[in-house]
Amino acid sequence: MAQPPALLTYSDLERFAIAIVQSGLFGIKTAPQALALMLIAQAEGRHPALAARDYDVIQGRPSKKAEAMARDFLDAGGKVEWHALDDTIADATFSHPAGGSVRIVWDMARAKKAGLGGKDMWGKYPRQMLRSRTVSEGVRTVWPLATSGMYEPGEVGDMPPAGSDPIKGVTIEGEAPAITAQRKMMENWERGEAQREQEQREAEAPPVMPPAPPQQRRTARSIGDWLDAFELAANDLTSADEADRLITSPASIWTKEHAKGAAKQRYDTIITGVMSTWFPSGADDPAPPDDVPTEPTP
């Protein structure tokens, strides 16, 4: 038995997903869709790139191609015996050592009863459509692992678009929760992606200093804590503009005017370090604002 491929990192999968979408070769429209399908493929022990070959996204829903279901079914030890396959009927027996045996028949009479016979693809390719329905139902009945919890593209195409009314299309009774689970997985991934982007924006934002403690609550400990934060912000400066905003902030001005003893010495030391780093010539020293409050607003 072939060894499963090595697990790829999340960043590698993201790059693969973008490449698949940009290629336009597989009909997957967005990188999150491609990434979700690649994660499923990797979880099943296949190389994630095979997701582009084996899966489709139809009306916002994931689907697995009938030939991919059949291939995985046969690889898992299943057998298929075709009794008839033409433009009017697809008749086959599916068997697996762990799932038993079942005979599935799809003919045009059954398709018309299900409201499918008049659809465009059923009129052009009746044999292929009958075969896909037979494979999907047979594999799902005997060895459902080969379906990856999905329907084949033709079945998904008969369902309402994702996000619309609950599934009312032609499905095998009891299988709707599988589609719901796939949709929830993709929605959860998209929410996680939005949260990750927000965290990235917050990490790149300039440092924001907390206001100085009100005078009536000022203690050596509170000023020391504020100076700790002030020093960290000074060390994280990346431009003279940031240094200017830090030094001339109301909290900084208040501390300059009210700090005493060791706290004042530490404040002056921090300011001296900022000035020597970002304003070495002294020509562009930051000027205090015209209206400096005597007590910063908490």
Over range 221-246, report the average pLDDT.
86
> In the predicted model, is pLDDT for residue 120 greater than 60?
yes
- State the pLDDT at residue 186: 61
Sort strands 55-58 and 61-64 into parallel, antiparallel or unpaired: antiparallel
Domain positions in the chain are 1-58, 63-174, 215-278
pLDDT in tens, 135-165: 999 999 999 998 988 888 888 877 766 665 5
CA 85 centroid distance within chain: 41
Q: What is the model's pTM?
A: 0.49
Q: What are phi and psi of 101, to 5 degrees?
A: -140, 145
Q: Report CA Rg, the chain.
A: 32
pLDDT in tens, 183-205: 666 666 667 767 777 777 666 66
Alpha helices in 143-239 (DSSP H): 153-157, 176-204, 220-235
Q: If you write DSSP's letter for every residue of 52-73 in order, what string do you get?
A: HHHEEEETTEEEE-HHHHHHHH
Asked whether the beta carbons of 54 and 68 are under 8 A apart, the reply is yes
Q: Report which of 167, 137, 139, 9 is spatially closest to residue 73, judged by C-alpha positions.
A: 139
Q: What are phi and psi of 173, to 5 degrees?
A: -55, 135
Sort strands 55-58 and 89-96 into parallel, antiparallel or unpaired: unpaired
Over range 205-215, report the average pLDDT.
52
Distance between CA atoms of 199 and 193, rounded to whole angstroms? 10
